[in-house]
Structure formats: structure tokens, C-alpha cells
Structure 1
Amino acid sequence: MKSASGIIKKIVILLMLLCIVGVGLYIYTNQEAQSAIKDAKWIYDNRDPQLYEGEEWLDGEIVKVLDGNWVYVKIPEGFVYGLRIRGLEAPTLAVLLGDDTLRMGKESQAFLEELALRKKIRFQAIDMNDSRYGHGYIEFQGKSIVLPMVKAGMAKLKRTEITHFSDEALWELLQIEREAVKSGVGIWDPSLILDWTMGDFSSDSTTPGL
């Protein structure tokens, strides 16, 4: 009886070890699984939920899209803010950086216009100057506007600017970007040559009029 019990115990232990080894091999050989683990570790290491906690959210409407990075937002009181959307990086139109960059910059701009131009949003203005130009977070239909842009391959995440998002929002964004990269959609088309120099519409000399 003891002998049979001992054999069963050894078999169970062996099966557990085989499962552990199998999972380890799967993770080691599966790039997507490795990426997911790295993303989970990044969230754990970088989350800063209290950052910008005291910053006010304002209601507004996107009245002009300069490119996939920059928009003009008008609030009910009539003031207009020029905002670089924090949390994403899209091909810019501020400078000409090659055919692929310009083409994808136009596609990103057109996508954002179709998505949110003349639509109601709410935003958090960060680091604004006296002329009401700066950076900000924009929510559209209850979620960060970064999400649909990244999902469509019209922009990539700027991770240093989303560390205060909730765990759920972070995980969703990272997962969506992994899927966009895997599918080669938009900016992730491997045949493209993109220059990621950021355009800056905040100076008077480069800011188009409304």
C-alpha cells in the first residue's frame, strides 16, 4: 500500500515538473507570451497612480486636428487650447521627413479627424503656457483617445506619459499595441521607413491659425 502510494506521489510530482517545464518552454519560445510578461513587469515597475491626480478635467470639443499628435480644443467658455496629446506618438506633419512619414502623418491626421473632430471630449491640460499651448490627456467616449489611435496603427504608445493610468487601462493599451505590431497595421507595416522626430506646433512661428 505504501509502495503504491509512493509511486503515485512520484508520478504526481513528475507530472507537475513536466507542466512547469512545458510552460517554461512555451514562454521561452513564444514571443507574444514573452512580450506580455515584459508588459506586466513594466506596469508593476512604473505605475504611478497619483501623478496628475489633482489636475482638473475640463469639458471641450476638438475644433481642429493639426496632425496625429496635436489638436485644438475649445471649452464652453470660448477659450481654445492647443494640446499635444500625451500618451501617444504619431508621424508628424510639422516637418517633411520622407514620403512614408508624410503619408502616414496624413493618414493619422485623417483618422483622428474622422474619429473626434467636432466631437465632445474631456481633457486634462498639463504644462500649459500663457498662450494656452501645452500637453494634455484627452478622453473620448469614456476612454483615452490614445486607444483607438494605437489600435488602428495610427500612433504608438509613449509609455513614459501613461504611467498614471489604471492597471486595466494600461494592460488594454499594451495589449492593443502588441496586436497592432503583430498584424503590421498602419505604422507597423514593416516596409515603411518612418522618422519619429516630433513636430512642435506650440511656438508662434509654426502654429497654424484656426
Structure 2
Amino acid sequence: MSGRGGSGLSLLIALLVLASACIGQRGEELTGVIIKVVDGDTVYVRLDNGTVEKVRLVGVDTPELEPAGMYPGEYDGIKNITCLVEWGFRAKEFAEEWLEGKRVILVLDPLQPKRDRYGRLLAYVYVDGVDFNAELVKRGLARVYVEGSFEKKGEYLRYQREAVKRELGLWACG
């Protein structure tokens, strides 16, 4: 091979190795027990290896627990902040009932980074085979976090459209 062709092939191989290394870090599954619910979309998990991780649920956003954390229109034009905060507390209570002390599977999304800008692990939470993130959206306890890409975006948006149509949960605030 000529020098140019060989260096191009070497570059291609290096890029493929790098890409496969990045992919290997995502889409993995971790198991553990929920030890604390912070709010509707953030929990602490004691993983089977003994480490504790703060986990942010992929693809969903529940209302904040304080009015200062909310802004009008954040939830598709809903301006009633008091109502949204109430649904933030309801989402937290739902998460506590469903998750605290439960054994879960965390699934990392291959389209998302492993961690967010705050260092939280980003994951789908499965309890007894049920996608908890999806349950929040189906019940009107969360909106779909549409910024960025994630594998279940289309599915979650379908659940949200149905919840909005039926005015479930926070969607009755409008």
C-alpha cells in the first residue's frame, strides 16, 4: 500500500475502535436497590457492587417541588405553577410508593451520555419488569423531556399525547 492509503486505513481502524469503545459504555444494565427518592425523576440506588449512584431518569421531567424551580410555559403552556408544584409532590409520592426499597434494573440509553452535567447517572428504571419512567408519563406525572435524543422518545411522546388528551395528572392544571 502507498503511504496515503495506509494512513487512511489506519485512521479508519482507529475511529472504529474508538467508536466501539464509546458504544460499549452505553446501553448497559446495572442492578441495585432504591435507597432514596429525591423527587419524581431523581433517585439514589445502591448498586449490587456496593456503590451508591444518584440517578436521573432518562426522557422524563416531573414538576419541581418548589415554585422557584418552575417557570410558566415549561409544561406546554401550563401557567398554574401552584398546580404544577402539587403534581411534583404527587410524582415524588408515586416514586416513593413504587420504588423505595425495591430491587431495580437500570438501563442506560445508547443515545444519551452515561452521566448528565451534574454527574448523575442517566437511566431507565425498571421495577418488576415495568418501565417506571414510562409510567410517570402515562399517568400524567411527568412530561417528556424532549431536549436531545433518547431511544424511547417516540413511545413516550405517544403516552404524553394520550395523557394530555385525557387531562391526566399535571395536564389538568391547564
Q: TM-score with structure 1 length normalisation? A: 0.55
Structure 1 or 2: more helix by fraction? 1
Please list, as runs of the form range in 1=range in 2, the aligned pairs for 1:168-187 lying within 5 A after superposition.
170-187=153-170
CA distance in 1, matches of 2:146, 2:116: 21
Look up the match of 1:119.
Answer: 102
1:53 Cα deviation after fit? 4.5
Contact 1:69 1:92 survives alignment (8 Å): no
1:148 aligns with 2:131: no
CA distance in 2, matches of 1:164, 1:172: 9
User: Which runs of 5 or more structure 1 residues have no equivalent in the other structure?
Assistant: 1-49, 192-210
User: Which runs of 5 or more structure 2 residues have no equivalent in the other structure?
Assistant: 1-19, 71-80, 109-113
Please list, as runs of the form range in 1=range in 2, the aligned pairs for 1:2-13 lying within 5 A after superposition.
none
Helix, strand or coil at the partner of 1:81: strand
1:190 Cα deviation after fit? 4.1
Helix, strand or coil at the partner of 1:91: coil
Q: 1:175 to 1:107 in 2, by over 3 A?
A: same
CA distance in 1, matches of 2:170, 2:93: 14
Instruction: Percent identity, please.
Output: 27
Per-residue CA deviation, residues 32-84 of structure 1 (Å, 9 max, x unaligned), is xxxxxxxxxxxxxxxxxx9x742232111111111112111111232111111
Contact 2:84 2:173 survives alignment (8 Å): no
Contact 2:83 2:170 survives alignment (8 Å): no
CA distance in 2, matches of 1:116, 1:102: 21
Q: 1:134 to 1:89 in 2, by over 3 A?
A: same
Contact 1:83 1:133 survives alignment (8 Å): no
1:72 aligns with 2:19: no
Per-residue CA deviation, residues 104-160 of structure 1 (Å, 9 max, x unaligned), is 11101001111222111122462268xx94131123133432110001100011134
Look up the match of 1:86.
Answer: 58
Q: TM-score with structure 2 length normalisation? A: 0.66
CA distance in 1, matches of 2:61, 2:84: 12
1:86 Cα deviation after fit? 1.6
Which of the pair has more CA radius of gyration?
1
1:183 Cα deviation after fit? 0.6
Look up the match of 2:146.
Answer: 159
Contact 1:63 1:74 survives alignment (8 Å): yes
Helix, strand or coil at the partner of 1:77: coil
Look up the match of 1:207.
Answer: none
Contact 1:121 1:138 survives alignment (8 Å): no
**1:186 alignment partner AA:** G
Structure 1 or 2: more strand by fraction? 2
**1:70 alignment partner AA:** T
1:161 Cα deviation after fit? 4.9
CA distance in 2, matches of 1:62, 1:124: 14
Q: 1:67 to 1:138 in 2, by over 3 A?
A: same
